[in-house]
């Protein structure tokens, strides 16, 4: 049945080359854990992506209940965690995933570093990788404020002071982030929400696309 549907579509649109080009390629022996168990270190990039997908999915579902407003944010998080079925699990996925994705990206970076995979001709992909890392940190920083509890608030107070300590543009960038020169409040929360849910995920997807396209172009780096 599925086969017939596929053939019907393929006959008209010739979709086979499209997915072949993406999915159908050799996994070299030196990155295959079935050949050398130590090759599991090559999995960390994929695991980083896997957890990123979980973050995006669980985040989309959290926004069904979450409101970015200082009066209601805390209560809405409490409601979605305490009263909605599986709320603890869905929030837990997003909460623990946020830390795990940093662990994975760190291990992935170590592998790239110690296998020398960043060397010519792959310098640009190292640069894109570092940008992805910064975007992840940004997502962690902006997401942390959203529950609007004491821990969230004071973590953001500290984070904004770090931004303020930057020479020359410090005050400017702090105000730009918090939406007010003095207050960390209503406008800070809405800004952080917009950055967390639209701007940074958008940037992240663009960078990931660049990362993966470059890998397909250049192939995985050779054995040591």
Partner 1 sequence: MSEEQNHNVSRRQFLTYTLTGVGGFMAAGIILPMARFAIDPVLQAESAGDMKAVASVDDLTDQPQRFDFSYEQEDAWNTSEVTETAWIYQEGDEIVALSPTCTHLGCTVGWEANQDHPEEFFCPCHGGRFKKDGTNIEGTPPTEPLHKYEVEVQEGTVYVGKAESQV
Residues of this chain that interact with partner 1 (CB under 8 A) are 54, 57-58, 61, 64-65, 72, 75-76, 78-80, 83-87, 89-90, 93
Q: By CB under 6 A, which span of 19-27, 32-40, 143-151, 154-162 interacts with ligand HEM?
A: 143-151
Q: Which partner from the list ligand HEM, partner 1, none does 86 bind, CB cut-off 5 to 8 Å by kind?
A: partner 1
Per-residue DSSP letter, 166: S
Q: Which partner from the list partner 1, ligand HEM, none does 196 bind, CB cut-off 5 to 8 Å by kind?
A: ligand HEM
Q: How many CB atoms lie under 10 A from the CB of residue 93?
A: 20
Which of residues 147, 160, 163, 195 is near ligand HEM by CB under 6 A? 147
C-alpha to C-alpha distance for 63 and 86, rounded to whole angstroms: 15
Instruction: Kindly state the smallest distance separating residue 199's Cβ from partner 1, in Å.
Output: 23
Which of residues 31, 139, 184, 189 is near ligand HEM by CB under 6 A? 139
Subset of 149-208 contacting ligand HEM (CB under 6 A)? 196-197, 201
Tokens of 65: 């209940």
Q: Which partner from the list ligand HEM, partner 1, none does 140 bind, CB cut-off 5 to 8 Å by kind?
A: ligand HEM
3-state secondary structure of 223: coil
Distances (CA, A) of 136 to 10, 77, 153, 214: 38, 22, 20, 20
Instruction: Kindly state the smallest distance separating residue 47's Cβ from partner 1, in Å.
Output: 12
C-alpha to C-alpha distance for 146 and 196, rounded to whole angstroms: 9
Nearest to 135 by CA among 200, 55, 59, 199: 200
Q: Does 140 bind ligand HEM (CB under 6 A)?
A: yes
C-alpha to C-alpha distance for 3 and 147, rounded to whole angstroms: 47
């Amino acid at each position: 049945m599925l086969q017939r549907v596929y053939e019907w579509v393929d006959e008209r649109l010739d979709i086979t080359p499209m997915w072949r080009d993406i999915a159908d390629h050799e996994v070299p022996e030196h990155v295959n854990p079935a050949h050398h168990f130590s090759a599991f270190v090559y999995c960390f990039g994929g695991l980083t992506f896997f957890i990123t997908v979980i973050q995006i999915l669980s985040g989309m579902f959290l926004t069904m209940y979450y409101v970015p407003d200082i009066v209601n944010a805390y209560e809405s998080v409490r409601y979605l965690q305490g009263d909605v079925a599986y709320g603890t699990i869905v929030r837990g996925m997003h909460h623990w995933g946020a830390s795990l994705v940093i662990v994975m990206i760190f291990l992935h970076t170590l592998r790239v570093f110690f296998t020398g995979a960043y060397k010519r001709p792959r310098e640009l992909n190292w640069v894109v990788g570092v940008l992805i890392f910064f975007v992840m940190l940004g997502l962690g920083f902006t997401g942390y404020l959203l529950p609007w509890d004491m821990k969230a608030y004071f973590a953001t107070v500290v984070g904004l002071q770090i931004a303020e300590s930057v020479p020359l543009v410090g005050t400017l960038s702090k105000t730009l982030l918090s939406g007010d020169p003095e207050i960390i409040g209503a406008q800070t929360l809405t800004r952080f929400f917009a950055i967390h849910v639209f701007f940074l995920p958008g940037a992240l997807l663009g960078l990931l696309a660049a990362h993966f396209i470059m890998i397909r172009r250049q192939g995985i780096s050779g054995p040591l």
